[in-house]
Amino acid sequence: MSVSYDEYMEILSFLYKEAMLLDDKKYKEWLSLLTEDFEYKIFLVDFVPYTNEGPKLITILDEDRKAMERRINRLYTEYAWAEDPQSHTLRVISNVMIESKVDNVYNVRSYLVLHRDRGDLKDEVFYAKRNDKIVKVNEGYKLSKRDVIIMESILRERNVSLIL
């Protein structure tokens, strides 16, 4: 596999732009970055004895594109209480590594630190590892798969109403 500096920069900008759209609450624009067969999973890590296979993952979400659209549409109803009044969020994307490239498909790892403010004194920061599948298409790049591992065995945030 060889990935050029330009390609790396393009992937990086794609991830930054995507994070920015979510922080700016431009959810419909964000949706347009997903492929039709988009898959999205979120895991917690169980606290178990060490094995060579890595941590045992507990699934807390497993969505397809249709479910994702429902999730986004919900935010525009008058009843999405978890995000209304709106959270203030700030996403830091880091440790971006292109792990492999086959044809026009990139497997990209990144870290996410996401701060959320909900108008109270509860500090909420999500620390997560992400494995993305990003596809190069004519108009640029699209996200076709995202696995998010929240690095907590007991989730300490009040909910996961945000997209990670």
Nearer to another protein, 37 or 46 (CB): 46
The helix (H) or strand (E) run that includes residue 13 is helix 5-23
Residue 156 gets which letter from DSSP? Answer: -
Q: DSSP string of 18-71?
A: HHHHHHTT-HHHHHTTEEEEEEEEEEEE------TT-PPEEEEEEEEHHHHHHH
80 versus 98: smaller Cβ distance to another protein: 80
- Size of the residue set binding another protein (CB under 8 A): 39
Helix (H) or strand (E) holding 74, with range, is helix 65-75
- The DSSP 8-state label assigned to residue 84 in this structure reads S
Q: Identify which of residues 84 and 99 has a Cβ nearer to another protein in the complex.
A: 84
Fill in the per-residue mask, 53 to 92: x = in contact with another protein (CB under 8 A), - = not in contact: ---xxxxxxxxx--x--xx-xx--xxxxxx----------
122 is a site residue for another protein (CB under 8 A): yes
Residue (16 or 47) nearer to another protein, CB: 47
Return residues touching another protein (CB under 8 A). Answer: 42, 44, 46-49, 56-64, 67, 70-71, 73-74, 77-82, 118, 120-122, 153-161
